């Protein structure tokens, strides 16, 4: 598969403005390649006189009103907004071009409607004659016309659908298939989950996902990615929308994180199938109040090693072991599926009774029992147990906890005892290289240990970008177990640092999960030591951002420590990698 180099030429729809432009800037910094940026706005040689000296939106609005009055026209809100929008558009396009050039890339802006096939083909041909053959396409253009379906018009549908689907058809028709090496489609979680008022937008984005699979099937030599983005902290997300997302536990992707995710996907080594990555989180569902008597739900599933590629990153003594945190993810996902609108928030007394090892002892079937303890419009309390049967039919219990699901999550509290002083400053790679930790790619998130003492460990971490196919039968929904596992690694680092021994988790007294770190995002771990000995450790785990806002807290987390684990941790590869 061809690599992206400085001679690569990307045609990018919607590439001069919004989040697509932010990604273009990051690509320019990383690859110093070339771009043909496509947009509907015409790029004018200079700004109108009235806008000069106005550097922000309030200033532009004032200047626009004054200009209209000076010309004897009424400064209506629509007229002012149109004038301001036009200038802002010009400035954003010019800023994107300047940023690409400053980063060492080349960029040309082409004003064209991508739904006009003939005009698009002509414009791309002319630009390619100057910059070189187009070998990459990024389709980032999109239009919103949010309305309930009964209020939508044919014009609304055509604007939304046409830009996404006819635009893609025209882009692919304008570039010879044998020439194209990289195809990136900007889809949306609206297509993956659905969203109120976005029937047309959801339909168009899901068609993008299917088109990606079809194109990859027909052109296996091309790198194809369809990224189902959640809402970004930019672009079409207004401050009001952002506040709505936060109130409904919908994670907003920071601009720098989203651009980082795109680079990670382009750089990652994948199998032959098209990858669809869901960024951010799902759209909040309306709460359905539980009713009736207390119930017991039993859910059965068959686990297999090859259905879970991420397990090759969690291997002890040559055998894949289900991470402790995956048991919690399993329970949380099931609870949220049973109770629409509720979100797994807290737990008590989580115990690892018998870990699940993917070897000859793996049961043919596992059962998750969720027993309702109490339920009302605000909270559902469940006793959860994961079990299986041995070969001779005897019950075998794996994980248990009491789980709390809430209709509305509390806001992220602050952890005030942060100590970010850099004293030891040990690179995280050291702990993976010397087998203090046995983890690989998807769980390999410790970047630095800032300080470590008998009382506290502070780590700087980054959450790897783990594509949905790689997550297998344990998809990340509202609880990102990769984030939590990386946090728990602080306990293993402490055990090896002070006692020279490996460690494995046993239980956790309780915890609260407020939010997840965005894929590719930076976070910090503050591990408070409650008690420690050569055989065990009890801690409070705090996972938070740079300002101390808590993503998750785990109380009375306990591990067992043993030097017998040291050699087992060195055998941390499967005999054969899992293909996917």
pLDDT at 281 over 60: no
pLDDT band at 279 (very low <50, low <70, confident <90, very high): low
What is the mean predicted confidence (pLDDT) over 503-526? 94
Q: Cα separation of 366 and 388, whole Å? A: 5
Give yes or no on whether 296-312+319-406 and 426-570 have one common fold: yes
The owner of tokens 């992220």 is 412
pLDDT score for 297:
96
Strand residues in 363-413 grouped as ranges (E): 366-375, 379-389, 395-406
Reported as a single tens digit per residue, the pLDDT across 392-434 is 999 999 999 999 999 988 999 999 999 999 999 999 999 999 9
What is the mean predicted confidence (pLDDT) over 507-533? 95
pLDDT band at 309 (very low <50, low <70, confident <90, very high): very high
pLDDT score for 162:
95
pLDDT score for 158:
93
Q: Contact at 8 Å (CB) between 500 and 348?
A: no
455 exposure class (CB count in 10 Å sphere: 0-12, 13-18, 19+): exposed
CA distances from 175 to 169, 180, 344 (A): 10, 7, 47
pLDDT score for 314:
98
Question: 226 — phi, psi (to 5°)?
Answer: -115, 115
| C-alpha closest to that of 494 among 571, 414, 426 | 426
| C-alpha closest to that of 59 among 91, 18, 98 | 91
Reported as a single tens digit per residue, the pLDDT across 161-213 is 999 999 999 999 999 989 999 999 999 888 877 777 889 999 999 999 999 99
pLDDT score for 7:
94
pLDDT score for 191:
81
Long-range contacts of 374-377 (CB under 8 A, 24+ apart): 374/294, 375/290, 375/294, 376/289, 376/290, 377/287, 377/289, 377/407
pLDDT score for 239:
59
Q: In what helix (H) or strand (E) does residue 9 lie, and over which residues does it extend?
A: strand 9-13
DSSP state string for 51-70:
GTT--SHHHHHHHHHHHHHH
pLDDT band at 539 (very low <50, low <70, confident <90, very high): very high
Question: What are the domain boundaries of the chain?
Answer: 9-43+106-278, 296-312+319-406, 426-570
| C-alpha closest to that of 205 among 139, 122, 117 | 139
Q: Cα separation of 455 and 502, whole Å? A: 19
Kindly compute the dihedral angle of the four CA atoms of residues 314, 317, 322, 325, in this order, to the nearest 10 degrees.
-60
CATH-assigned architecture of domain 296-312+319-406: Roll (3.10)
Q: Cα separation of 274 and 219, whole Å? A: 11
Reported as a single tens digit per residue, the pLDDT across 327-367 is 999 999 999 989 988 999 999 999 999 999 999 999 999 99
Of residues 202 and 243, the one with the higher pLDDT is 202
- The percentage of residues in the chain with a pLDDT greater than 70, rounded to a whole number, is 93
Q: In the numeric block, which tokens belong to residue 370? A: 């969720």
pLDDT band at 291 (very low <50, low <70, confident <90, very high): confident
| C-alpha closest to that of 274 among 192, 219, 320, 196 | 219
Q: Cα separation of 516 and 175, whole Å? A: 40
Q: Cα separation of 72 and 408, whole Å? A: 53
Average pLDDT, the chain: 91
pLDDT at 249 over 70: no
CATH-assigned architecture of domain 9-43+106-278: 3-Layer(aba) Sandwich (3.40)
Reported as a single tens digit per residue, the pLDDT across 456-465 is 999 999 999 8
CA distances from 456 to 165, 413, 461, 540 (A): 53, 20, 16, 10
pLDDT score for 204:
94
Reported as a single tens digit per residue, the pLDDT across 543-580 is 999 999 999 999 999 999 999 999 999 999 999 999 87
pLDDT score for 269:
58
Class of domain 426-570: alpha beta
Long-range contacts of 242-250 (CB under 8 A, 24+ apart): 248/284, 249/281, 249/284, 249/343, 249/409, 249/478, 249/515, 250/280, 250/281, 250/282, 250/283, 250/284
Of residues 399 and 520, the one with the higher pLDDT is 399
pLDDT score for 359:
96
Reported as a single tens digit per residue, the pLDDT across 105-156 is 999 999 999 999 999 999 999 999 999 999 999 999 999 888 888 889 999 9
pLDDT band at 229 (very low <50, low <70, confident <90, very high): confident
CA distances from 462 to 441, 521, 522, 544 (A): 12, 6, 4, 12
């Amino acid at each position: 598969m061809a690599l992206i180099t400085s001679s690569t030429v990307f045609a990018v729809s919607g590439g001069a403005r919004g989040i697509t432009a932010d990604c273009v800037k990051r690509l320019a910094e990383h690859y110093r390649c070339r771009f043909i940026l496509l947009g509907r706005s015409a790029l004018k040689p200079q700004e109108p006189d009235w806008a000069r000296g106005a550097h922000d939106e309030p200033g532009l609005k004032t200047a626009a009103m004054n200009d209209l009055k000076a010309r004897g026209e009424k400064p209506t809100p629509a007229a002012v907004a149109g004038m301001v929008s036009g200038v802002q558009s010009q400035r954003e396009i010019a800023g994107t071009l300047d940023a690409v050039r400053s980063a060492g890339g080349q960029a040309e802006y082409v004003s064209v409607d991508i739904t006009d096939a003939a005009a698009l083909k002509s414009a791309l041909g002319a630009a390619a004659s100057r910059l070189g053959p187009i070998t990459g396409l990024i389709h980032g253009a999109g239009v919103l016309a949010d309305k309930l379906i009964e209020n939508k018009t044919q014009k609304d549908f055509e604007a939304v659908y046409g830009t996404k689907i006819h635009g893609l058809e025209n882009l692919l028709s304008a570039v010879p298939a044998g020439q194209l090496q990289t195809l990136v489609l900007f889809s949306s979680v609206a297509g993956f989950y659905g969203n109120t008022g976005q029937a047309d937008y959801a339909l168009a984005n899901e068609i993008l996902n299917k088109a990606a699979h079809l194109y990859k099937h027909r052109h296996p030599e091309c790198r194809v990615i369809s990224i189902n983005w959640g809402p970004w902290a930019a672009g079409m997300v207004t401050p009001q929308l952002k506040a709505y997302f936060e109130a409904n536990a919908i994670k907003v992707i920071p601009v720098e994180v989203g651009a980082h995710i795109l680079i990670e996907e382009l750089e990652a080594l994948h199998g032959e199938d098209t990858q669809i990555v869901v960024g951010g989180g799902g759209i909040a569902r309306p709460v359905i109040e539980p009713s009736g008597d207390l119930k017991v739900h039993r859910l059965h599933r068959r686990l297999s090693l090859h259905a879970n590629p991420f397990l090759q990153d969690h291997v002890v003594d040559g055998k894949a072991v289900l991470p402790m945190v995956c048991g919690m993810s399993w329970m949380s996902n099931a609870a949220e599926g049973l109770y629409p609108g509720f979100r797994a928030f807290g737990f008590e007394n989580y115990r690892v009774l018998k870990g699940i090892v993917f070897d000859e002892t793996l049961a043919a079937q596992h059962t998750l029992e969720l027993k309702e303890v109490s339920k009302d419009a605000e909270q559902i309390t469940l006793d959860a147990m994961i079990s299986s049967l041995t070969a001779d039919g005897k019950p075998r219990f794996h994980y248990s906890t009491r789980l709390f699901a809430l209709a509305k999550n509390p806001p992220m509290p602050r952890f005030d005892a942060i100590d970010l002083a850099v004293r030891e400053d040990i690179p995280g790679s050291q702990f993976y290289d010397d087998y203090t930790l046995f983890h690989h790619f998807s769980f390999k998130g410790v970047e630095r240990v800032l300080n470590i003492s008998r009382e506290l460990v502070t780590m700087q971490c980054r959450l790897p970008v783990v594509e949905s196919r790689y997550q297998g039968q344990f998809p990340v929904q509202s609880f990102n177990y990769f984030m939590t596992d990386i946090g728990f690694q602080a306990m293993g680092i402490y055990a090896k640092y002070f006692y020279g021994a490996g460690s494995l988790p046993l239980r956790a007294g309780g915890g609260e999960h407020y939010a997840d770190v965005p894929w590719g995002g930076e976070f910090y771990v503050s591990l408070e030591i409650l008690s420690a000995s050569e055989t065990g450790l009890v801690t409070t785990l705090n996972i938070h951002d740079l300002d101390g806002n808590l993503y998750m807290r785990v109380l009375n987390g306990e591990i067992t420590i043993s030097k017998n684990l040291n050699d087992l941790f060195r055998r941390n590869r499967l005999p054969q990698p899992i293909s996917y």
